[in-house]
Amino acid sequence: MARLHAVGKLMQVAVAPKERSSQSQDPARAPVVPDETTVRSALERHLRRELGSEVEIDGFERKSSGFSWITYSFVAKTTAGASRKLILRVGPPNGLFAPYSVLPQVRALQSLSGTHVPVPGLVSFDQEGAELGCPFFVCEHVEGDVPVPWAGSKLSEEHRRDIAGQFIAILGELHRLDWRGTQLASLQGGSEERDEVRAIAGWCASLERPTARYYPLLDWGGRWLLENCPLPPRRTIVHGDYRIGNFLEREKRITAILDWELVHLGDPHEDLAWALMPTFNGRSKKLYGVLERDEVVDRYQRASGVQISAKSLSYYEAFALYQAAAIQMRAVRAFEVDEFNDMRMAVMASQMASIVRAFDRALEAAV
Amino acid sequence: MSTSFDRLIDGMIEALQSHVLPRSGDEFVRGQIFSTIFALNGLKLTADWKAAPLLEQVRVQDAALSEVGRLAVRMKHPPIPALPRTEGIAADPVVVEALRDDGDRILGELLFWASSEDARGADPSAAREIELLLRRSICEQLKVELAMTPKSMLHQIATGEEGG
């Protein structure tokens, strides 16, 4: 055991099989998913209080069976006869990134309303989740479809070029915004640690949670990332999950950028590197399968006014893979340690070998 | 190979019982689900991970450990176990998996050491060579796992749609 303590933190907490079974029998760890009737009545009570009138909910429907936030769509009708199509997003206690906070998303939607970054309008939120037992927020429904990032798109090349161009232009707008004086300024850390380093440290901490398998390259590479984080050209709002699949598009226009749960302040290279990951581009190195990397960088620089550093981009490409590995490990842990019987989590474990190998290659390129 | 065999089978059975069965009203479909649960329970009693790929991973680790021992002969380094570690052990997958996992921890410890100021101060060129050797070896070991990984079905799993 003494030998283990000399090495990285992830190693120290790799769980032995015996410990694994004793932890997993803790009933407090059992997954809890609010049923739809409970969610719906909690929502009615919440909206009645927020809107100050009786509210009837129609067409209540779960929109996704995602790994993290649960999304529902519905129509809220007031006694005055007004009717609004809305979206409810709930952070379930057993979700992949639990425990959840609605505050980053709420602050992003508040701060970006009325800017050139299209976002759904925020209606209300409840961080304490008094009615539901977990945090949630309500926002306007925005018309559009979500493109699927995992497979090659059936849309025409011209269509995808249009969308990819807007996608980069919006990212440039996001990174141009002065966050000081907005709600997002509260994301700034008060400590001496740089914001971008704090974001990386968060993922390192996530990997320190107990899992069945220890990956030496992740442990070692995580420390390298922490020790070699470049200075940002400008500290900007970073979406944190800016990729194909996290926006709505309608009639060749991006109508809303979604999923702001990982928003933070940091280095703009982070969003660009994440968006370029082949996983989110139908396994292509081109953005949305159509825009070459150089063209992406060129368009982005013009849109944002940020000068891209090849070295920083390489660093954040390595970090993107590290983050992807940390997300997969969360899923592995949910299945293996918490005994969350969602087979999608178990399948994610099988991707670890390819991600860790790609991470090593990316690290070599970033050095 | 990072999920234990029994846990995987238990998870499959539980997923069928809690997510699939309650949404299946058709008698024939329910019969198929119960038959699959029965077959999975049978697999749990009769099957296990293949030992050969695990042994191959341990062999790759041992080769790296031996090479590190040679390169670091004049340096003060973390302990390297007697090699080969598989000598005299039963080809029980559980035992070999534990050996592989222990090997990963030893490789991790050596990797941290090779990139430390201590190792670089003692012999920078050997330290760098050891670091690269360990990283190559870990990747080679992961290649054994990749050879046993089925083609990705991420699209189908994430969207519930066929194709992709």
What residue spans define the domains of chain A? Answer: 64-140, 157-366
The predicted-structure confidence for A135-156, as pLDDT tens digits, reads as follows: 999 999 999 999 877 666 788 9
Q: Which residue of B has its CA nearest to A67?
A: B158
pLDDT of residue A25: 38
Q: Which residue of B has its CA nearest to A5?
A: B109
At residue A351 the predicted structure's pLDDT band, cuts being 50, 70 and 90, is: confident
How much is the average pLDDT of A303-332? 96
Give Cα separations from A177 to A111, A122, B164 (angstroms): 10, 19, 37
On whether residue B158 sits in a domain, the answer given is: no
Pick from A190-194, A309-313, A333-337, B89-93 the range whose average pLDDT is largest. A309-313
What share of chain B has pLDDT > 70, as a percent? 97
pLDDT of residue A259: 94
Instruction: Give percent helix, percent strand, percent coil of chain B, each to the nearest 5.
Output: 70, 0, 30
- Residue-range definition of the domain harbouring residue B98: 51-146
Dist. CA A107–CA A179, nearest whole Å: 11
Which three-class secondary structure state does DSSP give residue A102? coil
pLDDT of residue B140: 97
How much is the average pLDDT of A245-255? 96
Residue with tokens 């089978």: B9
Q: Which residues of A touch B155 (CB under 8 A)?
A: 148, 150-151
Q: Cβ(B107)–Cβ(B134) under 8 Å?
A: yes
B8:A215 CB<8 A:
no
**Same domain? B31 vs B43:** yes
**Same domain? B142 vs B80:** yes
**Same domain? B76 vs B120:** yes
Give Cα separations from A308 to A172, A267, B89 (angstroms): 12, 11, 55
At residue B4 the predicted structure's pLDDT band, cuts being 50, 70 and 90, is: confident
The predicted-structure confidence for A71-128, as pLDDT tens digits, reads as follows: 999 999 988 888 999 999 999 887 788 889 999 999 999 999 999 999 999 999 999 9
Chain A contact for B25, CB < 8 A? no
Tally of domains within chain B: 2
What share of chain A has pLDDT > 90, as a percent? 64
pLDDT of residue B3: 62
Chain B contact for A220, CB < 8 A? yes
Q: Which residue of B has its CA nearest to A149?
A: B155
On whether residue B92 sits in a domain, the answer given is: yes
For domain A157-366, the question of CATH label 3.90.1200.10 is answered with yes
Chain B contact for A11, CB < 8 A? yes
Judged against a pLDDT cut of 70, whether residue A10 lies above it is answered with no
**Same domain? B67 vs B140:** yes
- Work out the mean pLDDT of chain A and round it to a whole number: 87
Q: How many CA atoms lie within 13 A of B121 on its CB side?
A: 6
The predicted-structure confidence for A95-104, as pLDDT tens digits, reads as follows: 788 889 999 9
Judged against a pLDDT cut of 60, whether residue A68 lies above it is answered with yes
**Same domain? B65 vs B43:** no
Chain B contact for A217, CB < 8 A? yes
Window B:68-107, CB contacts with A under 8 Å: 78-79, 101, 104-105, 107
Chain A contact for B116, CB < 8 A? no
pLDDT of residue A30: 40
Judged against a pLDDT cut of 60, whether residue A63 lies above it is answered with yes
On whether residue B136 sits in a domain, the answer given is: yes
The predicted-structure confidence for A261-307, as pLDDT tens digits, reads as follows: 999 999 999 999 999 999 899 889 999 999 999 999 999 999 999 99
Judged against a pLDDT cut of 70, whether residue A29 lies above it is answered with no
Q: Which residues of A touch B2 (CB under 8 A)?
A: 211-213, 332, 336, 349, 352
Contacts (Cβ under 8 Å, ≥6 apart) of A10: A207, A208, A214, A215, A218, A219, A222
More confidently predicted of B23 and B64: B64
More confidently predicted of A64 and A246: A246
pLDDT of residue A353: 93
pLDDT of residue A19: 44
Average the pLDDT over each of A127-131, A152-156, B52-56 and give the range with the smallest value.
A152-156
On whether residue B155 sits in a domain, the answer given is: no
Dist. CA B137–CA B61, nearest whole Å: 7
Question: Chains A and B: how many Cβ contacts under 8 Å?
Answer: 124
pLDDT of residue A282: 87
Cα dihedral sign for A137, A140, A142, A143? positive
Peptide bond into B84 cis (omega under 30): yes
Judged against a pLDDT cut of 50, whether residue A245 lies above it is answered with yes
pLDDT of residue A305: 98
On whether residue B25 sits in a domain, the answer given is: yes
Pick from A24-38, A334-348, B117-131 the range whose average pLDDT is largest. B117-131
On whether residue B160 sits in a domain, the answer given is: no
On whether residue B74 sits in a domain, the answer given is: yes
B111:A216 CB<8 A:
yes
**Same domain? B21 vs B102:** no
**Same domain? B105 vs B38:** no
Chain A contact for B11, CB < 8 A? yes
Q: What is A64-140's CATH topology? A: Phosphorylase Kinase; domain 1 (3.30.200)
**Same domain? B110 vs B83:** yes
Judged against a pLDDT cut of 80, whether residue B121 lies above it is answered with yes
